[in-house]
Amino acid sequence: MSNTKIKSAIISVFNKEGLAPIVKKLDNQGVKIYSTGGTESFIKDLGISVERVEDLTSYPSILGGRVKTLHPKVFGGILNRSENTEDQNQLKKFEIPSFDLVMVDLYPFEETVANGGSHEEIIEKIDIGGISLIRAAAKNYNDVMLISSRDQYADFLELLNNQEGTTSLEQRKQYAKAAFNVSSHYDTHIFNYFNQGETPVFKQSIPTAQVLRYGENPHQEGVFYGDLEGIFDKLHGKELSYNNLLDVDAAVCLMEDFKNDAPTFAILKHNNACGLATRDTLLQAYKDALAGDPVSAFGGILIANKEIDVDTAALINDLFCEVVIAPQFDAKALEILKSKKNRIILVQKAIELPKQQFRTILNGVLAQDRDAITETVDAFETVTHLAPTAAQKEDLVFANKLVKHTKSNTIVLAKNGQLLASGTGQTSRVDALNQAIHKAKSFNFDLKGAVMASDAFFPFPDCVEIANKEGINTVVQPGGSIKDKHSIEYCDANKMAMVFTGNRHFKH
């Protein structure tokens, strides 16, 4: 069968929004419509004639709607092959009407779980008849056109208008493919619900994807599986690249830990912050973030925890930067930022970051819980004779939040709510510290009175010794080394204060 005209339809949809113009069109085109309870009432209320599935099957909907369409008169009508004489003879013999359109929108299982429904509510949202209608119609795409989700209503209406109710074999096959995407996604969520806390099985389904210009490098292909629209409103600029997405992820996760703080601005390069400052105004926060490393900031990813105002936008405009992210933009600020054609401007929606993270390795996937610990001053255990002052504690919290979002091994140096420099992704902690000191000095920062944060414990006192020589006098680290006391003794002998958090923050 190639091109076929829709003559009869079975419609059973949970979400009726957007259905009215479709059934009106089908009615205009002379299509005979069969439908289940709620859908049938909806269609009847539009003044459109509709047959009850109950009349076709001679059974009412039973068991509280658990069985409505599960009947040979329905499934025979969908699964029969138009070019198979035996099939057609059996339709006649058992008085089964043939359907050439099936429209389904499944019970909202995923949403019911996400909204914290009770176990009983969730179980009742496991669609049986709908998923069977989808499976049957998709199998018989040769003869049957299938709409398997509300997400397809708009496209289908367009198709009905443009092709006067005719569908091609290729179109039906495409919709069948889309249907198996819908049904497998649905079943993945059901399985994961049942499998919570049980034997780990890696079963994920992300039905939306975006083909990227390329991967990490132009000779690598890249795809993003996900839904950026759920997280951002993109107001301007070119398509996000693979590397942009990695940086945007790092920026959003970093700012998540500063979102409730005073105005904070961060500049990131290659997933690490090269500038970050918290100030009374966003303008000052931007200036001091940029001062952290104006060289690395070129081509960076910018993120703010407050609305970007005109003055800040005017200053940002002097910098070549790939992406600017904020919860809001002042209208005039937006105009200024849009003056650069390619600059990507994203409004970040209120989001909840996934609790689990995945990455591929070798022939498998590593999964872990997101690092959800963010220490406040209450988490600090002072282990030296000297305790940090209240202001130093604030800087320790600030530096420790940064360390959590910087590639290991890392040391972060900060003072007065400003990132002075960090050592990132080094093979030793001493290298990380030396890198940070070198960088801070190259931008003329005075390290006297700065604080040092380390992502993991100090097995030797070498880091506190180097820090002390530069006037860095306050330290936050997880603690937990059998040789902790060497670092503590050095600090005590040199009037340094050190606190332990008890939590390591590796980021590989």
Residue 130 near ligand FAI by CB under 6 A: yes
Position among 107, 156, 232, 398 found at the interface with ligand FAI (CB under 6 A): 107
Does 270 qualify as catalytic in the annotation? yes
Find the shortest distance in angstroms from Cβ 27 to ligand FAI.
17
- State the DSSP H helix or E strand holding residue 414, giving kind and residue range, or none if neither: strand 411-415
**Looking at this protein, which amino acid is placed at residue 131?**
I
State the CB neighbour count (10 A cutoff) for residue 212. 18
Find the shortest distance in angstroms from Cβ 451 to ligand FAI.
58
For residue 174 the two structure tokens come to: 């495409």
Among the listed residues 16, 32, 139, 287, the single catalytic one is 139
CA-to-CA dists, residue 35 to 67, 130, 257, angstroms:
14, 12, 51
Note whether 390 and 376 are within 8 A (CB).
Answer: no
Does 486 qualify as catalytic in the annotation? no
Position among 6, 22, 34, 68 found at the interface with ligand FAI (CB under 6 A): 68
Find the shortest distance in angstroms from Cβ 94 to ligand FAI.
19
Q: Among 60-68, 211-219, 339-347, 402-410, which window interacts with ligand FAI (CB under 6 A)?
A: 60-68
C-beta of 41 vs 98, nearer to ligand FAI? 41
Q: Among 126-134, 188-196, 354-362, 395-403, which window interacts with ligand FAI (CB under 6 A)?
A: 126-134
Residue 56 near ligand FAI by CB under 6 A: no
393/499 Cα distance (integer angstroms): 9
Q: Which residues, at least 6 apart from 283, have a Cβ–Cβ distance to it below 8 Å?
A: 309, 311, 312, 315
Q: Among 18-26, 64-72, 326-334, 382-390, which window interacts with ligand FAI (CB under 6 A)?
A: 64-72
Residues 478, 481, 483: CA angle, nearest 5 degrees: 130
Position among 6, 9, 10, 13 found at the interface with ligand FAI (CB under 6 A): 13
Q: What is the DSSP string of 127-193?
A: -SHHHHHHHHHHHTTTT-EEE-SGGGHHHHHHHHHHHTTEE-HHHHHHHHHHHHHHHHHHHHHHHHH
Residue 104 near ligand FAI by CB under 6 A: yes
Among the listed residues 234, 270, 287, 340, the single catalytic one is 270
Find the shortest distance in angstroms from Cβ 140 to ligand FAI.
17
Find the shortest distance in angstroms from Cβ 17 to ligand FAI.
13
Q: Among 33-41, 293-301, 399-407, 437-445, which window interacts with ligand FAI (CB under 6 A)?
A: 33-41
State the CB neighbour count (10 A cutoff) for residue 295. 10
272/426 Cα distance (integer angstroms): 13
C-beta of 99 vs 458, nearer to ligand FAI? 99
**Cα of 368 vs its chain's centroid, Å:** 16
C-beta of 18 vs 37, nearer to ligand FAI? 37
Find the shortest distance in angstroms from Cβ 44 to ligand FAI.
12
**Looking at this protein, which amino acid is placed at residue 403?**
V
State the CB neighbour count (10 A cutoff) for residue 82. 15
Q: Among 34-42, 110-118, 357-365, 397-405, which window interacts with ligand FAI (CB under 6 A)?
A: 34-42
Site residues (vs ligand FAI, CB under 6 A): 12-14, 36-39, 65-70, 104-107, 127-130
- For the annotated catalytic residues, the residue numbers are 139, 270
